Structure 1
Amino acid sequence: MAELRGSAAQSGPRPGPPYGMLRYGLRVAVAEWVLARVPTPRRNPFALGYLAVVVATTTFAELADPGLVLRLQEASSSDGHNLVHHPLRALLFSGFWVAGTIWMPYLWAFAFTVAPLERRVGAARAAAVFAIGHITATVLSQSVVITAVATGRLESGALDSLDIGVSYGVLVSLGALAGLLSPRGRLLALGLAAVLLADQISEDRDLVTGVGHPVALLTGVALWRWLRRGSGRRWRRPEPGPAGAPGAAQASGAAAVLDRA
């Protein structure tokens, strides 16, 4: 009996893993978390494909004859005049241009809105969200313009004001993505979007922007219930290393925590 008590005392609680192993596991988990969210053609065919089109049209707008560019953009514009006479063309092609000749900000916009949404819900649903937001915000904002012109609140020239860009698609993707985040992440995303929209509206005071951008964001919010059905996690959790590898268990545990973020 004494020998048994001595053996039990000697065994005692096992010491925890060394601090160096914990640091190694955390570094591995962070690296895997970042790499799992970098857009690739396999993970983000829609986001990268759409961004490639935007880069192409922006490069064309910078290098081609300005008169030709203006004519093409006017033909693609989703202004009130084009919506009445050429609705399909206006709704389809207006989202393939950006306002100006700088596309880099849209790279980050897609990386933080469209790409993560696509990873969670798939390319088909992400494309549907983008299209629904673009069409809804365009139609409602231009309906306000048409009504204002008809009632004499705006001049008739407002029906021909150039209306192109991908901002509606980006904002609807942000609004939709917020519904798939944790409560804290959802509050942060929507709060940031509200601040940006309020600042933009106060400085720009453009009727189309003032109506279209909030409508696009709220359209994304309205799609939460549809997107939550069967969305799940589209990326795979990184496989843990061999059981005997230094920090393998710590990396696996840390990756599981980060994956819920």
Structure 2
Amino acid sequence: MSGTPTEVPQVLDGLPQQRAWARGAIPGGARTKPVRAARPAAGLRGLCDPRGLRRLRALRPWRLLPGPTGTPFTFGYAALLAATSLVSRYADPAVVESLHQSSSTDVAHLLRAPLLVLPASALWIAGAVVSSYSLCFLLVLTALERRIGGLRTAGVFLFGHVLATLATEVPVGLAVLAGRLPGSSAHRLDYGISFGVAASLGALAGLLTPWLRWPLLAVFVGMLVQDLAAFADPMTSWGHLIAVGLGVVTWPVVRRWRQARLVAAAASETL
């Protein structure tokens, strides 16, 4: 055999893989396969993608709870509720009863000092920290504040708290005036955060994807309907349903707020 390189048949030029081998031919007829760069697995590419990293950071479980920097309104409000809950637990029962009475949004107090009792009634948790609304408060208001901001979340909460309270107490006052209810109904003890939480949950549902929005509303409203059917506290049960409806009414507004917040965040990243 001669020392000249082995000629590659021309017919191989029609096959791309074999043309690559021909270009890498070496003396003596040996061929070397082209070295191909290893591609990262699809999962690794997703992790290295900045968008994938942002998704992972968004799934951090501690983001479900409020923090002093990310959700200052919810964090501060939760600290205030924790303090009033400690007062309810450890203070003298007579003092606690007096505080609850002076914060009650019953008809008599609403007629005398509505601007005082409406916000004051939201400083207490009915059932203290063991109430289911305590956990709902933390999860719902944290999620809502992360989407629309603290001041707007406070607005949604107060919107539901005030209007649902008036929607349930005003009919009681009218019924007392008409003689349909006894005068003691005007002094019914009424305080707590549940109306504001229910309205906030209704508003938050409008910012979620449909597969999460409708099951959440169905479960929550179903629980409220069961409470109403039990007739243990029909006025409060109606107030919760009204509050959820008020939250749903805010969907066009909270969606605009959410979009404006996203646009502002995107603009800040480009600076």
**For this structure pair, what is the TM-score category when the shorter chain's length is used for normalisation?**
0.7 to 0.9
What TM-score comes out, normalization by structure 1 length?
A: 0.79
What's the CA shift for 1:127?
Answer: 0.3
Looking at structure 2, the residues matched to 183 and 196 of structure 1 have their Cα atoms a distance apart, in angstroms, of 20
The residue type paired with residue 185 of structure 1 is L
Preserved contact between residue 78 and residue 90 of structure 1 (Cα < 8 Å):
yes
Preserved contact between residue 168 and residue 216 of structure 1 (Cα < 8 Å):
yes
The residue type paired with residue 139 of structure 1 is L
What's the CA shift for 1:34?
Answer: 2.2
Which of 55, 65, 72 is the matching residue for 2:99? 72
Structure with higher RCO (Cα < 8 A, 6+ apart): 1
The residue type paired with residue 60 of structure 2 is V
Contiguous gaps of at least 5 residues in structure 2? 1-12, 22-32, 267-271
Cα offsets for 1:30-63 (capped at 9, x unmatched):
5651244442111111111111111111110111
What's the CA shift for 1:186?
Answer: 1.4
Alignment partner, residue 59 of structure 2: 33
Which of 240, 247, 251 is the matching residue for 1:224? 251
What's the CA shift for 1:226?
Answer: 1.0
Preserved contact between residue 125 and residue 134 of structure 2 (Cα < 8 Å):
no
- Is residue 176 of structure 2 the alignment partner of residue 149 of structure 1? yes
Looking at structure 2, the residues matched to 169 and 113 of structure 1 have their Cα atoms a distance apart, in angstroms, of 11
Alignment partner, residue 30 of structure 2: none
Distance 1:139 1:208, change over 3 A: same
Distance 1:236 1:14, change over 3 A: farther
Identical-residue share of aligned pairs (%): 32
Looking at structure 2, the residues matched to 103 and 55 of structure 1 have their Cα atoms a distance apart, in angstroms, of 11
Looking at structure 2, the residues matched to 22 and 108 of structure 1 have their Cα atoms a distance apart, in angstroms, of 37
Contiguous gaps of at least 5 residues in structure 1? 238-261
Distance 1:16 1:195, change over 3 A: same
Alignment partner, residue 118 of structure 2: 91
Distance 1:180 1:27, change over 3 A: closer
Distance 1:104 1:51, change over 3 A: farther
Larger radius of gyration: 2
What TM-score comes out, normalization by structure 2 length?
A: 0.76
Looking at structure 2, the residues matched to 219 and 28 of structure 1 have their Cα atoms a distance apart, in angstroms, of 33
Aligned CA-pair RMSD: 3.1
- Is residue 87 of structure 2 the alignment partner of residue 63 of structure 1? no
Which of 122, 136, 152 is the matching residue for 2:163? 136
